[in-house]
Structure 1
C-alpha cells in the first residue's frame, strides 16, 4: 500500500509513538521505531490537510428554499408536547405539485437547515443547527410541501414511549397522560390532532408503527433502502428507516412517492430503481378505481392474507387488541381476500436477536458517532456534539454528562455496548446477524405463499405515563416491555410494514378510556404498494372511529 510522500514530512513526536506502540502491546527496535515516526508523520500531515478542507456539505440555496419564523414554541403552543421547534419552510420553485400546500412535520432527528436538531436530548455539548437538509426534506419541499416544524422525538430515539424527550412529554391525542408511543411520538400526535397534514418518522424497532397504532393514524416503515436516510441521525445502518405518517392510506402513498428512490449518496439503497416502481399514488388509485366497479365482496379477490399465529399468540397480547385485529382480518375476508393462518416459530426469537445484535454497532453509530466503513453523507458539522468520546477511538467512551443526559433506553444501549464489547467483541453481533438472516428467510418462505402477513402492531393499548419510585433504570425499562414484540423483527429483515387503525380498545388501567389500536401488514420487500392496496380497501369500507372492542 502506498504512503504519502515522506519528503519534507513531519516526524511524529517520539513520546506519541511510544504511547501508541505501548498501548497496542507491541515492541519495536530503535531503527524500526524511527521509520514509523517518519511514516506516521507523513500520514498525519495528510490528515491535517484534509481536516482543514471544505467537505462539501449540501447547503441549500436560501433564495430557493425560504425559511422563516424559526422559534421554540411555548408550552401552550406545543400541541401538548408534539412540537419541538416551529418554522415555515417552502420552495419558491417546486419541481412538482405532488404535495402542493400540504403542511409537514419533520421528526427531530432529521436535519433541516437553520433549525435545531435535539434528537430528544438535552444540549449538553451545545445545540446542533445543521446547515443542510436531509434528502427527504429537500424532496418534500420540491414536491410543494410546506415544513411547519420539527416534531418532538424521544430521548436519543431509543424509547417506545412518549415521556422521555428533552422538549417534554407528548400526550396521546385521545387521552392526556397516556403515551403516544415512540420514538416518533410528536409526529404521531401532530398528524392525529390535525396540527399538520402529514409527517415524517424514523423507525429502527417500531418507531413509526408504534405511534401510528397508538395515535390512530397510518404509518409505514418502508422497505429497507427504498427511502434515502441521508442527513438523518440513525441507530444502526442495517435497521434505519424513514417513512410517512398520515391520517389516510392514500396520503401515506403520496408522501412515500415524494420521498422514495435512490439519492446516489446513501449506501443502504440500490443504485437504480425503475421509475415506474415508485409510482405509489397512481398505482393505488388505479387499483381502487378498478375495485369501485366490483361488488364489495370481490375487491380483494386474488389476495391471500396470512394471519401470523405467533403475532397473536404472544404472552403480552391484550385480548381486546386481538379482537380488534381479528375483526379487521374478517373485514378483509369479507372484501374477498383469502385468509389463512401462517407460522414463523422463531418470530419471538427474531425480536430477541434484533436486541442482541444492536449494542455493538448501535452503540458506536448512535452514541459514539462512529459511522466508519459507510458510504454516505457524514454529518461532520455535528462533530463533538454527537458523541464527546473520551480516550482513543478503540476505547471511546461517553462523558458522565452525556451519559446522565440519556434516558434509561439510551443508557441501556450504552451499558450493553460496553458489556458486549468487553465480553464478546464482534462474535455476538456476527452470530445474531446470521440468525437474523435465517429469520429473514423464514419470513420470505411464508411470503412466498401469501401476499401479506398480518398481526397486531402493538400487543396492548397505550400505557399511562408511569409513576415510578426511585431513580433506577429497571422500572422505566420494563414498564413498556413487549411494545416492539411484533415490529422490531422487520427492521432487521427489511420487509415493508404498515400500521393502520382498526378501532378503539379500553385502556388497561381504566376501561372508561378508549384508545386506538392498529393492525400491521407486512409484505415482500419492495412490494410496499400491496400493503397500501389491502389497507386502503379496508379503510374505504370501514370507519375505524366507530369500532370499539371490549372484553
Structure 2
C-alpha cells in the first residue's frame, strides 16, 4: 500500500505503544522496523485526527417538512405489536400514491428522534436521520403512526424475543406471529395500520406474512434501497411491503423502489421508468376476465419445496389445492426440480455468521459503499461486552458465538466457500425460470408454533427447536436475490392443538427485477378466491 502522505505529527506514536498491538496479533518486529512503522502510524493518526466531520453530509430530515409528534411508548401495545407510537406526515407530499394510508415502520429502521430498539436492549440508540424509504412514503402522502416491534436483533423466526414483549398471532393468542417483522405482521392483519415495512434476510417478511394471513413481498435484492436500516448482512438485506392485499403491495412497492445513490446493493443503472411501475400492470391483469387473467403464464411447482423435513401435511394439501386453482385463471402449471434448493439453507447457515456477527451485532460494515450508522456503532465497540451479549435473544446469541467460532477456527474461507456454492444455486433458479415465469411452493413448512410461557427461560436449544427448518423455502431466495411473495391461501390446524386454526401461504418466486410477475400471479388468485373460506 502506498503512503499518501508522511506527516510530521502533532503526537508521535512510540514503539512501546505499537509493540503490544503487534504482539497480540502474533507479530514480532526488530527495533528498526518498529521505528519505521511507528512513524507511519503516527502519520496515520494525524490524518485521522484531521478528517472533517462526516455529519455534514448525512441525510438529515427537514423536520419542518416532515414533522413528527406525539412520540411515546404506548401502555397498550396491541398484544406486543407496537414498540413506539409517533405521528408523522409530510406537509407538502410530491405525490398522492399513498395518500390517506397509515404505515408502521419496523423497529430496525432509522426515524430521527424516535428510539430504534432493533428488538433488543443491547444498545440504546435514537437515530438522527431517516431511512430513505421512510422519506419516500412520507413524500407519497402516507402517515407514519409508529414503529412495529421486531424480534431480538432481527434474528428470530418466532415472535417471542422482542424487548417490548411477545407478539401474539392475530388469529390465536399464545401462538407466534412470525419473525422477525412480527409487529408489522400483526398490525396489518388486525387493521391497526394499512401498510407496514418488513425487512428480510432469511424470511423475516414472509414468515410473519404467512403466519398472520397477509401479503408480504421480499423484493429483488437491490430494488428497494436499504439505506438507514440496520443490516444483518448486506448480501442478503431486503426491505419490502407487508399489506392486506396484493394491490396495496404493488402500490407500496411503487412508492419505495428505485436507486437512492447511497446503497451499493442497488445497480447504478437500469432501475427507472416502467421497471418501477407495478400498480398499472396489476390493474391490467385484474381487469381481464378470470379465465384469461394469467393466460400465457407458466407456473413451475418446485418439487423440493414440498420435500422439507418435518413438513406439515395440512400445509402441503392447502398449498397444492391453491396451485390447482391457477389453471382456472389461464395459467399453465407443471412440476420443476431444482435439486440445489435443498442445499441452499445449509449454505445460508454457513455464509451468515462471519458477516452477520460483524455487520449486524458489531455494526461494522467495512467493504460496503453505503451510509454508515457510525453513531450506533460507537456504542458497541469491537466486541460485545458481557452485558451486551446477555441482552441478546437465542438466535442472536447463537449467531455471535458462531461468528466467534468461525473467525477463530476457519477464518474467511467458510463464508467464501459457501458464497461460491450459492452462486450455483442462484444460477439453478435462473435456469428454472427460463422455462417458467414464476416458481411456487409453500412459504413455510408448518403453521405458527405456540409461544413459550413468558419468562420461561427454557434456553436457546429448546426455544430454537420450535422453528427448526422454518426457513427452508425462504432463505434460499435471500442469497439468490430473486423476488419472493407470500400469499395466504387457507387455514391449517395448529400442531399443538388441532382445534386452533392458523393461516398458511404459498410463496411465489419470480425472475430478478420481475417482481411485477409475482404481483400479477398473486393478484389474480386473490381476486378469484377467498383464502379465509378455503
**3-state SS of 2:259 partner:** coil
The CA deviation at 1:285 is: 1.3
Could you tell me how far apart the structure 2 residues matched to 1:423 and 1:51 are? 39
Describe the SS at the equivalent of 2:279: helix
Q: Which residue of 1 aligns with 2:326?
A: 332
Instruction: Answer yes or no: is the 8 Å Cα contact 2:9–2:42 preserved in 1.
Output: no
The number of residues matched between the two structures is 531
Decide whether the 8 Å contact of 1:3 with 1:43 is kept in 2. Answer: no
1:279 to 277, 280, 292: 277
Quote the residue 1:394 is aligned against. Answer: none
More deviation, 318-327/173-182: 318-327
Deviation at 1:221, TM superposition (A): 0.2
* Structure 2: stretches of 5+ with no match in the other structure: none
Give 1:393's aligned residue: none
Match of 2:518 among 513, 521, 531: 531
Deviation at 1:301, TM superposition (A): 1.6
What is the distance in 2 between the residues matched to 1:231 and 1:195? Answer: 25
In the other structure, the counterpart of 1:106 is: 105
Instruction: For residue 438 of structure 1, give the secondary structure of its aligned residue in structure 2.
Output: helix
| Contact kept? 2:353, 2:406, Cα under 8 Å | yes
SS in 1 for 2:423: helix
Report the Cα distance in structure 1 between the residues aligned to 2:498 and 2:241, rounded to whole angstroms: 31
1:231 to 228, 232, 251: 228
Structure 2 length normalisation: TM-score? Answer: 0.97
Q: Distance in 1 between matches of 2:255 and 2:300?
A: 30
Residue 46 of structure 2 is matched in structure 1 by 45
**Distance in 1 of aligned mates of 2:398 and 2:54:** 37
Spell out the pairing of 1:150-229 with structure 2 (5 A cutoff): 150-229=147-226
Q: How far apart, in 1, do the equivalents of 2:329 and 2:28 lie?
A: 74
Structure 1 residue runs without a partner (length 5+): 390-396
CA distance in 2, matches of 1:132, 1:52: 16
Residue 267 (structure 1) aligned with residue 264 (structure 2): yes
Query: 8 Å contact 2:304–2:338 — kept in the other structure?
Result: yes
In the alignment, structure 1 residue 244 sits paired with structure 2 residue 241: yes
Instruction: Select between 38-47 and 532-541 the one with higher mean Cα deviation.
Output: 38-47
Preserved CA contact (<8 Å) 1:9 1:38: no
Alpha-carbon distance in 2 for matches of 1:322, 1:8: 69
1:141 is aligned to 2:138: yes
State the shift of 1:7 in Å: 3.2
1:412-423, aligned counterparts within 5 Å? 412-423=398-409
Moved more, 279-288 or 445-454: 279-288
Q: Could you tell me which of 486, 496, 512 is aligned with 2:499? A: 512
**For 2:105, what is the secondary structure of its paired residue?**
strand
- Is the 1:10–1:38 Cα contact (8 Å) retained in structure 2? no
C-alpha separation between the residues in 2 aligned to 1:100 and 1:510?
42
Q: Secondary structure at the match of 1:346?
A: helix
Residue 403 (structure 1) aligns with: 389
Aligned partner of 1:392 in structure 2 is none
Task: Specify which of 400, 405, 411 is matched with residue 425 of structure 1.
Answer: 411
Q: Cα deviation per residue 1:59-111 (whole Å; 9 max; x = unaligned)?
A: 1111100110000011xx21111100000000001010000010000000010
| Deviation of 1:309 (Å) | 0.6
User: Within 5 A, what are the aligned runs for 1:349-364?
Assistant: 349-364=343-358
Distance 2:7 2:292 in 1: 76
Secondary structure of the 1:211 match is helix
Note the 1:492-507 alignment, pairs <5 A: 492-507=479-494
Task: Go from structure 1 to structure 2 and tell me whether the alpha carbon gap of 1:513 and 1:121 turns closer, same or farther (over 3 Å shift).
Answer: same
Tell me the equivalent position of 1:80: 79
The whole-number CA distance in structure 2 between the counterparts of 1:438 and 1:400 is 39
What residue number does 1:95 align with?
Answer: 94
CA distance in 1, matches of 2:54, 2:507: 47
Structure 1 range deviating more: 469-478 or 213-222: 469-478
Distance in 1 between the 2:291 and 2:21 partners?
73
